[in-house]
Amino acid sequence: MSRVYERVALIGLGLIASSMAHAMRAQGLAGHIAGHAKTAESRQAALDIGFCDTVHSTAAEAVADADLVVLAVPVGAMGEVAAEIAPYLKPGCTVTDVGSVKGAVVEAVAPQVPQGVQFIPGHPMAGTEYSGPHSGFAALFRNRWWLLTPLEGTDPAALDRLRRLVEGLGAKVDTMEVAHHDLVVAVVSHAPHLIAYTMVGVADHMRRVSSSEIIQYSAAGFRDFTRIAASDPTMWRDVFLTNREAVLDILGRFNEELFMLQRAIRMGDGEQLHAYFTRTRAIRRGIIEAGQDTAAPDFGRVGDSVRKD
């Protein structure tokens, strides 16, 4: 791959930013990678691991002379960080973000971006339950979708340049309108996470009043719930608060479906249950056909094959 940006600044050095850095290094997509994290511990970790060329104690120092600035901080902190770096952004540079909510980010960040700087919101649909500088790996974005939500007046050349970087990281790119993005991710990501947190919370309550058997005999479905529920609590707190309308809409629909299933179970309506499960099973087949998962059986994960790619 050829170099896309001379200097990239990563603000926040967790899973997504560190994975971007590893992939940019592996593919030669950036000449210099500068980084900043809020804590000295994370900054030192980035230096020790070596995925940044320079690590700075302030975001303002990190973005100096950058051609691309990536905001990889919790959604609730985006506005504050954007205001901090705004006076130091080089004319002609591009600012993007990796938050999983776009409406609230646009509202917080766009007013801070100075004239002559392009703001192109983004969302990599990739992640794990791990966080922090040590969690990143170059293959994280391979064959995953990276959604861009360009705003009115976005420079096509800046958008194309960012697209080339994202594709160089191994991702597939699509563009989407901001409000539609937030509704889509409420269905495929946000509501499922909230349901997972809820089920693990129910199990925790039952474990406290009964025994540890719920943990001891966890089957694959519950194990996946606990994996999802192990995600960064700060990030998900901000996601639910900033995408509340879309999430509440989907949860309302979920409750309606759940009520229908409750009634079918109560009435012994096996025909309705079978028909429902047959329809929903097709979604799984579609995900496999789209290359977003494998059909290989999962009897409990053995090893970390993704990271070794």
Q: How far, rounded to the nearest angstrom, does the alpha carbon of residue 147 sit from its chain's CA centroid?
A: 10
Confidence of residue 135 (pLDDT cuts 50, 70, 90): very high
Q: What pLDDT score does 143 carry?
A: 93
Q: What pLDDT score does 297 carry?
A: 62
Taking residues 106-133, report their average pLDDT: 94
- Whole-angstrom distance, CA of residue 48 vs CA of residue 197: 34
Domains, the chain, ordered by start: 5-176 (3.40.50.720), 180-308 (1.10.3660.10)
Average pLDDT over all residues of the chain: 89
Q: What pLDDT score does 298 carry?
A: 59
Taking residues 130-134, report their average pLDDT: 91
Taking residues 150-163, report their average pLDDT: 97
Q: What pLDDT score does 208 carry?
A: 64
Q: What pLDDT score does 279 carry?
A: 87
pTM above 0.85, yes or no: no
Query: 33 by DSSP, 3-state: which?
Result: strand
Q: Residue 215, by phi and psi: left (phi above 0), alpha (psi -120 to 50) or beta?
A: alpha
User: Is the model's pLDDT at 303 over the cut of 50?
Assistant: no
Confidence of residue 112 (pLDDT cuts 50, 70, 90): very high
Q: How far, rounded to the nearest angstrom, does the alpha carbon of residue 282 sit from its chain's CA centroid?
A: 25
Taking residues 91-120, report their average pLDDT: 97
Among 31-40, 194-203, 282-291, the least confident range: 282-291
Q: How many CB atoms lie within 10 A of CB 47?
A: 15
